[in-house]
Amino acid sequence: MIVTSMSPLEMCRALNADLPKLIIKASSFIPKISKQIKKEGKYPAWKWVEYTHQESRNKYLISFHAPTPSNADKPLIHYIAFLDDDKERVVIRWGSWLYQKNVSQEVLKVNSISYYCSHFFIRYRERVWGNLDIPYNELLCRYFSRNQQSIPLEMNDDIKRDYQKYGDLANISFQQRDGLCFIRHWCEGDELSIGQKDSDAIAVVLYYTIITNSMLSDIQKKAIGEEGRKYIANYYSNLIEESSKEAIFRKLNQLHDNLTSVGVFSL
């Protein structure tokens, strides 16, 4: 069972070990969930099941999301873990991120884990849903189904004044569908081990709060837009560079094959 004394990597590995059983349990719930969704006929639909793993005793929320009627029989599934400490229940998402140190190296997966304090979801309910009176579990389902993608933004004073006072771990924020998330982010372990079977590298994120786009000033919106464009431009620049390299290699290989066929490289 995961406990607060465990390291982020230990927690991630423990949750990964439970995942096969979670997938099996989620599949077994689908017929009943689909029946409920169809009966209610309201979309988007969110359903959930609280589940305690029999061996590890780890506690989970299995989320089922049907954005349209076509998804009723095959709802989108998300797995959320709970960590109970003395003060509150911490929400956890875990998995892996794509990692590339530079464009000359291959893209690898690095373990990742994200922690959400209760304050984050208090603000999410208040600011995104206007304090909508829905169960807490549905609030979690809504957040994780709607905010699967994040654009990392380098912080500056136009995005958040005096952000430096929160330390070096607060130099990144995440732009998501429902708003701008203020976080703390760092990496643990050996970066050189990324890609190896027993890599001890892991990306860790603490989610503190979220503000909606309607709460942003024009200066903030402009700064966020600029940082977002920088990230996207860099992302596609890397893709183009990699694609160009692959195209060059393909041409060289083709040239090599052609020359070999006429005996230039024959021994």
Domain edges within the chain: 8-216
pLDDT band at 237 (very low <50, low <70, confident <90, very high): low
pTM attached to this predicted model: 0.84
Give the pLDDT confidence of 6-29 residue by residue, as tens digits.
Answer: 999 999 999 999 999 999 999 999
pLDDT at residue number 254: 55
Q: 73: burial class by Cβ within 10 Å (0-12, 13-18, 19+)?
A: middle
Q: Is the pLDDT of residue 258 over 50?
A: no
pLDDT band at 267 (very low <50, low <70, confident <90, very high): very low
Mean pLDDT of 122-147: 98
Share of the chain residues as helix, strand and coil, in percent rounded to the nearest 5: 45, 30, 30
CA–CA distance, 240 with 237 (Å, rounded to integer): 5
Give the pLDDT confidence of 136-185 residue by residue, as tens digits.
Answer: 999 999 999 999 999 999 999 999 999 999 999 999 999 999 999 999 99
Q: Helix 136-146 to helix 118-129 angle, to the nearest 10 degrees?
A: 80
| DSSP codes of every residue in 45-109 | EEEEEEEE-TTT--EEEEEEEESSGGGSSS-EEEEEEEEE-SS-EEEEEEEEEEE-SSTTS--EE
Q: Is the pLDDT of residue 41 over 70?
A: yes
Give the pLDDT confidence of 64-80 residue by residue, as tens digits.
Answer: 999 999 999 999 999 99
Give the pLDDT confidence of 96-120 residue by residue, as tens digits.
Answer: 887 766 555 667 788 999 999 999 9
